[in-house]
Structure 1
């Protein structure tokens, strides 16, 4: 078995874990298959589906869908109280308290959680304490060994109840009034600005990674496993958003602050009703990137601001925040609290 096509066929044909892992070296078999099917190395829906099925079969081999019941480290004991959320590369487990245990599905992705841990440590060390709640708090990071397999785990702070992803908000209420989208934009710029001051690019500011509280107006930017130090290439991308990355990122050019600012703007533009966060062409003579165009209710100056932040994003999130505040003052006057009713 040396090709991705052969690995896909093998995983598709497997009825149960024994069909794949009954040999003398099941861990070696798993690692070889995972390398051939990993989304960062293999393209296409068949490879992605086979990778997910491979992870499930491997987890099933160890019983209880691969879920640990208790994890004990040098710093404490975490009693697993069920699944909080399943991602494509990791599972978040409840602990019955204010923390979550994040465990990779595949050892092939151990580096993703190590990258997240490094980023969160750096931001906490270099960040302004008052602004640290915009990112998760890393409690500890360790390797968890079970069934002969060693997987990376992070213990992170749990976001309080009531927070929703931007994707969830878009599904429940779209488009948003620009005044509602504006406070989300402001806080998102603070979140990436905190990271940039620490020398870190998030690298994946997409709607499912941004949590907001509609009433309390809190925001947390989660999942830092695709992050990278500014000035270095991204080494991991969110596969389903591959087309949303600028060409330079795909060419493995050094990442700058502009990536996060561009992606953050796309998130907010989507909330306002832009299709896929893309603006209409200047002059209204047709779409520059998408036939959706600018939705009704977005003032012309706001549309121009969005267009500029997408097509030529600055490198300074704090400078853009100051410009946004000036624009909002001109458009809407003194700021008033607006609960976001969904």
Structure 2
């Protein structure tokens, strides 16, 4: 790889993934721009490029997860959520606004149902591209439902459904709609049956984006009218839980059908009220609630 080409690519890169993946890519770029292997005239540019390459590679080594539109990287104060495209900074802003509203307007006792926003700021890279970065509390011990490799017993899905309705009810009372209740956005803590909703980038009454690859999981009002309401979250949460279940009982199928009508006005509008109705169905099916250990 030629020196000028390597420098240009490094300067354009927003993250190490723009350059490639793994040790081989790092070695190739390091060899091309290493300050000890260039001419005096190239020295200043080499020093800058090598420093930037090292920074990008270090951030890669601290990367926790790759999300729909952003990477999560370990920072000094929490997880840095960095959008891969500057054009998605508005979604980062939507998440910051949603998490702020939950803190300021939501009942404090339900705060564990969403991560805390520690900071939100605009970062300018070497190409003068500006990205909004959110700094989020790290939820230790939590894993996304997308990590489940097989369908689960309906009794295990039941506690997740209950927790999900609690979290959504809390958000809705604070005036916030999540807008993308999908497997990768719902984290559980298996041992204590904890649950948290993450990735609030899609929140708000007007749809700015949908998650690629999940189009079939959205209700009609999102796809056709680009709008969301609490009934949108209830629809998506219900569909999600039903996807998790192995052989759901007929009573739960009927309950789910009442939550997933095409028209939002025909669905339940209040997640906490719906929780009470779900508890009646579960009580009739399984009797008094008991704690079921759950592992992934």
Shared fold per TM-score greater than 0.5: yes
Q: Please, which of 300, 306, 321 is the counterpart of residue 256 of structure 2?
A: 306
C-alpha deviation, 1:89, in angstroms: 1.7
Q: 1:209 aligns with which of 147, 163, 185?
A: 185
Name which of 141, 144, 155 aligns with 1:165.
144
Specify the alignment match of 2:156 in structure 1: 180
Task: Say if 1:67 and 1:191 are closer, same or farther in 2 by CA, change over 3 A.
Answer: farther
Rate the CA distance shift 1:53–1:84 in 2: closer, same or farther, 3 A: closer
Cα deviation per residue 1:228-269 (whole Å; 9 max; x = unaligned)?
1xxx32111112112322222122343211111111111110
Aligned mates of 1:17, 1:87 — CA distance in 2: 32
Give the conservation status (yes or no) of the 8 Å contact 2:219–2:236.
no
Q: Which residue of 2 aligns with 1:254?
A: 227
Secondary structure of the residue that 2:202 maps to in structure 1? coil
* Gap runs ≥5 in structure 1: 1-14, 31-51, 70-79, 274-294
Q: TM (normalized to structure 1)?
A: 0.69
Contact 1:144 1:150 in 2 (8 A): yes
Which of these residues, 98, 102, 106, is aligned with residue 123 of structure 1?
102
- Equivalent runs, 1:86-97 vs 2, <5 Å: 86-95=66-75
1:331 aligned onto 2:293: no
Distance 2:94 2:57 in 1: 23
More helix by share: 2
User: Does the residue aligned with 2:241 lie in a helix, a strand or coil?
Assistant: helix
Distance 2:239 2:87 in 1: 31
Larger radius of gyration between Structure 1 and Structure 2: 2
Deviation at 1:17, TM superposition (A): 9.7
Q: Where does residue 264 of structure 1 map in the other structure? A: 237
Aligned residue among 206, 228, 233 for 1:233: 206
Name the count of aligned residue pairs.
Answer: 261
d(CA) in 2 for partners of 1:20 and 1:327? 63
Checking the alignment, whether the CA contact within 8 Å between 1:165 and 1:210 is kept in structure 2 is yes
Deviation per CA, 1:9-55, whole angstroms, max 9, x where unpaired?
xxxxxx99949968xxx97xx9xxxxxxxxxxxxxxxxxxxxx9997
For residues 100-143 of structure 1, the C-alpha deviation after alignment (integer angstroms, 9 at most, x for no partner) is 11111121111111110001001111111110110110011001
Contact 2:115 2:136 in 1 (8 A): yes
Aligned alpha-carbon RMSD (Å): 3.0
Hey, which bits of structure 1, 4+ residues long, moved more than 6 A?
Answer: 52-55, 58-61
1:323–1:310 CA distance, 2 compared to 1 (3 A)? same
Normalising by structure 2, what TM-score?
A: 0.79
Structure with higher RCO (Cα < 8 A, 6+ apart): 2
8 Å Cα contact 2:181/2:237 also seen in 1: yes
Distance 1:341 1:55 in 2: 33
- What residue ranges of structure 2 are gaps of 5+ in the alignment? 22-28, 30-48
Aligned counterparts, 1:1-342, within 5 A: 18=5, 56-57=18-19, 62-64=52-54, 66=56, 82-95=62-75, 99-147=78-126, 148-161=128-141, 163-169=142-148, 171=149, 174-228=150-204, 232-273=205-246, 295=247, 298-311=248-261, 312-342=266-296
